[in-house]
């Protein structure tokens, strides 16, 4: 019986991927509960299961008495000596039990607890697997789309995850069977088990793609200091090099733009501006407004991180970008409020700003 039990235990470990030691602990608890619930059982019991020695021992403990007051915890001397010839009044003896004698109700209880333990173990293993993928990119397969909610169900390994409409790139249309890369934002452990929170719009997706594509980032020579993104349209990436002999921007762009172009392709044509990070706010802000050329950056309020930027007249639209996008992404990237003005349109502090410039600057701050 013991050999069959342990064979089944190892088979379950192999098929479910659950360690035998974990199953043993759950089964010991289940059997202990079953002994307590059995009409002839006892609150005080012992369960020993050793996969190494193949030992399977179940017993209940009872105190030897002259006269029984509580049959669940006590046993008369004559009965006790059937199990231990040296037993005497006052001793606590062990009465070996066979699992098959626990009774139908006890057996069902044991099965229930064991099944519950296995489910918990599976959830625990799945949670660990999910947590190892947190803040990483995983490849998923599109299973189905919900036309009403706009969400998409993806298959990731042997499990499923929901990609909400809010986390999808507006310009993309995901089709059933399509392979797609998603970023694991978080892992939540709910009543129904662990759940992956995934995204195609998170800036972390861009960051991880660069880490995978650029060896200098993977090796730690080049660092990604900041990212701002409007998924499906444009992203800005601020990079810094620990080695003065390594150009961080050139490393990310790659020979003839090969590295950045492969990422652009992965993101469905999303434009990517790679700029050099600087601890000097003026330099950083100036670079962040790329591809526009900046004539000057004036720090208005360092505490509030507010600045005024002057650009050539013909570069004003480029600096602000379509619907304020370039200025908006630059503000997100640097963390500064940026007021952009044309070279010829600079007015004194006491004079009224040009309405068009003010509107564009406000749009950039939003």
State the pLDDT confidence band at 109, using cuts at 50, 70 and 90: low
CATH 3.30.300.20 corresponds to the domain 202-277 = yes
- pTM as predicted: 0.66
Query: What top-level class would CATH report for the domain 2-128?
Result: alpha beta
Q: Which tens digit of pLDDT belongs to each residue from 312-358?
A: 999 999 999 999 999 999 999 999 999 999 998 754 343 344 434 43
CATH number of 139-199: 2.40.50.140
Instruction: Tell me what pLDDT residue 41 has.
Output: 63
Starting at the edge strand that comes first in sequence, how are the strands of the sheet with 222-230 ordered?
222-230, 234-241, 271-276
Q: Which tens digit of pLDDT belongs to each residue from 264-305?
A: 998 989 999 999 999 999 999 999 999 999 999 999 999 999
Q: What is the mean pLDDT of residues 154-166?
A: 89
Which of the pair, 147 or 206, is modelled with greater confidence? 206
State the pLDDT confidence band at 220, using cuts at 50, 70 and 90: very high
Percentage with pLDDT > 70 across the chain: 88
- Domains 202-277 and 289-366 fall in the same CATH topology: yes
When the pLDDT of each residue in the chain is averaged and rounded to a whole number, the result is: 85
The answer to whether the beta carbons of residues 157 and 168 sit under 8 Å apart is: no
Q: Which tens digit of pLDDT belongs to each residue from 123-139?
A: 777 788 888 888 999 99
Report the greatest alpha carbon distance in the chain: 111
The answer to whether the beta carbons of residues 59 and 45 sit under 8 Å apart is: yes
Q: Which two tokens stand for residue 55?
A: 């030992």
Q: Is 232 left (phi over 0), alpha (psi -120 to 50) or beta?
A: left
Residue 259 has pLDDT above 60, yes or no: yes
Listed in sequence order, the residues at least 6 apart from 18 whose beta carbon sits closer than 8 Å to its beta carbon are: 12, 118, 121, 122, 125
State the pLDDT confidence band at 258, using cuts at 50, 70 and 90: very high
> Cis link prior to 291 (omega < 30° from 0)?
yes
Between CA 348 and CA 357, with CA 353 as vertex, the angle to 5 degrees is 125
Map out the domains of the chain as residue ranges: 2-128, 139-199, 202-277, 289-366
State the Cα–Cα distance between residues 333 and 229, nearest whole angstrom. 9
Query: Which CATH fold would you assign to the domain 289-366?
Result: GMP Synthetase; Chain A, domain 3 (3.30.300)
Which of the pair, 121 or 327, is modelled with greater confidence? 327
- Beta bridge partners of residue 236, listed in sequence order: 228, 273
Q: Which tens digit of pLDDT belongs to each residue from 193-213?
A: 788 899 999 999 999 999 999
Closest CA to 67 of 75, 56, 59: 75
Instruction: Tell me what pLDDT residue 91 has.
Output: 94
């Amino acid at each position: 019986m013991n050999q069959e039990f342990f064979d089944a235990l190892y088979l379950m470990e192999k098929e479910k991927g659950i360690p035998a030691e974990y199953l043993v602990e759950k089964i010991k608890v289940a059997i202990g509960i079953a002994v307590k619930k059995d009409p002839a059982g006892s609150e005080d019991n012992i369960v020993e299961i050793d996969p190494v020695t193949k030992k399977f021992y179940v017993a209940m403990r009872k105190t030897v008495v002259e006269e029984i007051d509580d049959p669940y915890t006590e046993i008369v001397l004559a009965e006790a000596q059937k199990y231990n010839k040296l037993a005497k009044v006052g001793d606590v003896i062990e009465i070996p039990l066979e699992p098959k004698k626990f009774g139908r109700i006890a057996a069902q209880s044991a099965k229930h607890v064991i099944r519950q333990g296995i489910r918990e173990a599976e959830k625990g293993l799945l949670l660990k697997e999910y947590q190892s993928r947190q803040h990483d990119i995983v490849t998923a397969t599109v299973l189905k789309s919900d036309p009403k909610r706009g969400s998409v169900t993806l298959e990731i390994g042997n499990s499923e995850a929901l990609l909400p409409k809010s986390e999808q790139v507006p310009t993309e249309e995901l089709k059933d069977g399509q392979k797609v890369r998603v970023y694991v934002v978080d892992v939540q452990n709910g009543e129904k088990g662990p759940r992956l929170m995934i995204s195609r719009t998170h800036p972390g997706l861009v960051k991880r793609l660069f880490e995978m594509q650029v060896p200098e980032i993977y090796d730690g020579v080049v660092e990604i200091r900041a990212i701002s993104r409007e998924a499906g349209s444009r992203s800005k990436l601020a990079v810094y090099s620990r080695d003065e002999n390594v150009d961080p921007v050139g490393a990310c762009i790659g020979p003839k733009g090969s590295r950045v172009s492969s990422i652009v392709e992965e993101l469905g044509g999303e434009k990517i501006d790679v700029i050099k990070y600087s601890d000097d706010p003026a330099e950083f802000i100036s670079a962040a407004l790329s591809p526009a050329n900046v004539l000057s950056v004036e720090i208005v309020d360092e505490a509030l991180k507010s600045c005024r930027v002057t650009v050539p007249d013909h570069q004003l639209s480029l600096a602000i970008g379509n619907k304020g996008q370039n200025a908006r992404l630059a503000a997100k990237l640097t963390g500064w409020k940026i007021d952009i003005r044309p070279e010829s349109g600079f007015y004194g502090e006491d004079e009224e700003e040009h309405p068009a410039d003010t509107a564009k600057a406000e749009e950039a701050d939003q």
